[in-house]
């Protein structure tokens, strides 16, 4: 989304202040004061309005500035902002409807003699199988796996190795990425 100047929020006040000025032209210090800008910002805003030079000063037509303000705050800008807000509200509502408390079940106990928790097994070299029934159950098993690795990494690493050797076809499918 493009940068939106701070003065956009005060558009109605700014428009009223510009409309109440008696002079048909505004110089840079007046633009700075009304819009709350510094020199560079005022010069940039005035450059978009194709002002005039009166001596060493640049001035812009009050009517041109009012038209620019109407364009910026017009129906198109308001409609665009309303659409953006509606999309954000819709996205938030969708997230709220999907949200539910995530209670992760306690990690399953480890099987005696195995560093891997219940429901976790090495099914082939390089393949770990997790059995779960709910997303929370899956997270609990993953947490148990992480705790097992953190508790005794050497036993955990040894538990990941399979007894016996894999068939040559299995090893070949692992190398090629086919399972």
Q: What confidence category does residue 170 fall into, taking pLDDT thresholds of 50, 70 and 90?
A: very low
Q: What is the pLDDT of residue 143?
A: 86
Q: What is the tens place of the pLDDT at every residue in 97-106? A: 776 666 666 6
On average, the pLDDT of the chain sits at 78
Which of 35-39, 111-115, 127-131 has the least mean pLDDT?
111-115
Rounded to whole angstroms, what are the CA distances from 25 to 18, 51, 107? 10, 9, 75
Confidence label for 114 from pLDDT (cuts 50, 70 and 90): confident
In degrees rounded to 5, what are phi and psi of residue 25?
-125, 150
One-character DSSP codes across 112-156: TT-SSBTTEEEEETTEEEE--SSHHHHHHHHHHHHHHHHH-HHHH
Sign of CA dihedral 113, 115, 117, 123: negative
What percent of the chain stands above pLDDT 70? 76
């Amino acid at each position: 989304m493009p940068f939106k100047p701070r003065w956009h929020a005060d558009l109605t006040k700014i428009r009223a202040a510009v409309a109440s000025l008696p002079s048909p032209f505004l110089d840079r210090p007046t633009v700075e004061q009304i819009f709350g800008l510094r020199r560079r910002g005022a010069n940039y805003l005035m450059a978009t309005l194709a002002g005039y030079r009166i001596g060493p000063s640049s001035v812009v037509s009050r009517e041109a500035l009012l038209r620019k303000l109407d364009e910026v705050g017009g129906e198109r800008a308001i409609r665009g902002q309303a659409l953006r807000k509606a999309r954000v509200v819709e996205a938030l509502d969708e997230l709220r409807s999907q949200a539910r408390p995530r209670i992760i079940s306690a990690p399953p106990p480890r099987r005696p003699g195995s560093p891997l928790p219940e429901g976790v097994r090495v099914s082939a070299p390089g393949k770990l199988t997790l059995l779960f029934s709910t997303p929370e159950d899956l997270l609990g098993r993953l947490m148990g796996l992480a705790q097992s690795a953190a508790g005794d990494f050497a036993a955990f690493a040894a538990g990941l190795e399979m007894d016996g050797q894999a068939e040559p076809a299995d090893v070949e499918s692992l190398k090629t990425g086919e399972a």
